[in-house]
Structure 1
Amino acid sequence: MYSTYLFNFALPFTGSLLGMGIAYIVKPSAPRGLKLILSFSGAFLLGITIFHLLPSVFRIADFNAGIWIVAGLVFQILLEFLSQGAEHGHTHTHISTRLPWALFVSLCLHAFIEGIPMGSQEALVWGIFIHKIPIGMVLFLMIWQLRVSLFLKISSLIFFALMSPAGSFIFSNTNGLEPWKTTFTSLVIGMLLHIATTILFESNQGHAFNIRKLGIILLGFGLSYLL
């Protein structure tokens, strides 16, 4: 049990910090490499969802997974009105003297909810790990340029990195929530479907053929299948 807690905590947290560290070292304003990372994460997330998560909810008898998947998709669309698409790599470079609270809260809520089913879905933990790298990069680039205290910058970044592990820990240690596990998994499926497909569609702007991007996408699908 403790090894599962450690795995669910360490991997998403490390993914967020890894993305932030990459952004800190490279400090790109419009990173070309971010697009390839996004393409890989989008394919990996979509593969995890199709190969692992969807079968896990549709095999449950007398459970209407479709309704909750659609609910998760719609909920993610609503969240993105606040986050302005940061979940799938949209960067916002305007400098402000305060934290963009609506964007930050929506990203934290998204991270918390997607962490809830991690305790029973090892493949999802890896999917969230990969997903956190570009989000960590985008969030770092937005927050690090703010004219706020260094303490607020660092604490907000660490708080975000803790959200998915917190979702998993709280759900696993709260009595009475276990019957809702499949419902939350279905919600997360809807959220991930929206994010992954948006990433893949937006990565193909101009509809120009790109062999490198195609290879990255196929690699993402292949690795997600092997988990």
Structure 2
Amino acid sequence: MNYSIYIYPLLSVVLGYLIAFFLQPKNKKNLKLLLAFSGAFLLSLTVMHLLPEVYAAEALLHEGHNHATHDHSHNHGTNTIGLFIMIGIVFQIILEYFSKGAEHGHVHGHDKMDTIPWLLFFSLCLHGLLEGMPISQHNELAYGIAIHHFPIAIILTLFFMNAELNKKAILFFMLIFAFMTPLGTYVSSNLGFLTQYYTQISGVVIGILFHISSTIIFESSEGHKFNLAKLIAIILGIALAVFV
């Protein structure tokens, strides 16, 4: 068993939390550059690895079905993947209505919090769980999710600290969030009824990743301006994903 696919996404959140908690970085520009890099890396991984492999798996499935039924007519079944990708995009937009865009580091405000923001908590946990599901079949995605979650964990922890949320509540929130992606990976590879719908679930996750990574790239600079540093970060993220 490849334990690294569970460890990397988990450690990235824990490390992000520890850096935010003990170092409390103030430079927002560096965080935005890290976000841009992570968004580009995740988008590149999704386009170059996850997307073509899911379409290929769906095509093989339909080809096998056609041979079994002796039906060699043109089949439009692979279009269903496109439908599930669009469902994923819409689903992520709905999640962000409740999470206020925390999945891509878009959290603002300094109002004091007395309790855990439960809508944000459940939205982020569901997001992390779904992101982990394709990792069991696409191990390289573990690196993308880990790099994606690292700056998010820093930004979220700083946000909660600025809002004066109880330290134990922050630790609880971040630890549960850290375990959701490995949990998604585990259940997708061990629960039989989920493996039957792997391509459909992957389609939904691709839609989620498309929306998040593109939003990160366009939001991580004020006024949506592509300055040189951000452009270099994006190119590096794309280039790194080529070699994964």
Settle same-fold status: TM greater than 0.5. Answer: yes
The answer to whether the 8 Å contact 1:95/1:147 transfers is yes
Query: Out of 45, 59, 62, which is 1:48 matched to?
Result: 45
The answer to whether the 8 Å contact 1:42/1:196 transfers is yes
Query: Out of 130, 136, 139, which is 2:147 matched to?
Result: 130
The code of the aligned residue for 1:34 comes to L
C-alpha distance in structure 1 between counterparts of 2:219 and 2:9, whole Å: 24
Q: Which residue is 1:81 aligned to? A: 97
Q: Which residue is 1:115 aligned to? A: 132
The code of the aligned residue for 1:177 comes to L
Counterpart secondary structure, 2:140:
helix
C-alpha distance in structure 2 between counterparts of 1:214 and 1:13, whole Å: 28
5+ residue gaps in structure 1? none
Q: Which residue is 2:84 aligned to? A: 68
Q: Identity over the aligned pairs, expressed in percent?
A: 42
The answer to whether the 8 Å contact 1:99/1:143 transfers is no
C-alpha distance in structure 2 between counterparts of 1:209 and 1:171, whole Å: 38
C-alpha distance in structure 2 between counterparts of 1:207 and 1:177, whole Å: 39
Matches within 5 A, 1:123-202: 123-202=140-219
5+ residue gaps in structure 2? 60-76
Instruction: Rate the CA distance shift 1:147–1:204 in 2: closer, same or farther, 3 A.
Output: closer
Q: Which residue is 2:120 aligned to? A: 103
23-32 or 112-121: bigger deviation? 23-32
Counterpart secondary structure, 1:122:
coil
C-alpha distance in structure 2 between counterparts of 1:181 and 1:196, whole Å: 22
The answer to whether the 8 Å contact 1:91/1:141 transfers is no
C-alpha distance in structure 2 between counterparts of 1:57 and 1:107, whole Å: 25
- The TM-score with structure 2 as length reference comes to 0.86
CA radius of gyration, larger in: 2
CA deviation string 1:49-103 (max 9, x = no partner): 1111110112121332100000000000000001101111112332111111101
